[in-house]
Amino acid sequence: MIIAVAGVAGTLGGSLLTQRASERAKRREIELVREHEEVRENLLLRRSCYVELNRDARQFTTALSQFLHVMRERG
């Protein structure tokens, strides 16, 4: 009788442990995917900021150059 109870308890306990392990693995996989998406979003944001910075720097350089030409013509 004790052996039967121990066998049933072991079988049920094994299935519970397996289920918990698979849940942990699934949670870890979801965390990794979220981290990957976050890194990707950060890179896209940084890239767009660099694009805007370069565009604004070019516009500033153009405006400064035009101003310089106007000042030379007046002087």
pTM of the model: 0.59
CA–CA gap between residue 30 and residue 25 (Å, rounded): 9
Query: In 31-67, which positions are buried (b, 16+ CB within 10 angstroms) versus exposed (e)?
Result: eeeeeeeeeeeeeeeeeeeeeeeeeeeeeeeeeeeee
Count of CA atoms in the C-beta half-sphere (13 A) of 72: 6
Token pair recorded at residue 1: 């009788």
The model's pLDDT over 2-37, given as tens digits with 9 standing for 90+, comes to 777 677 677 777 788 888 999 999 999 999 999 999
Greater confidence, 61 or 7? 61
Length in residues, the chain: 75
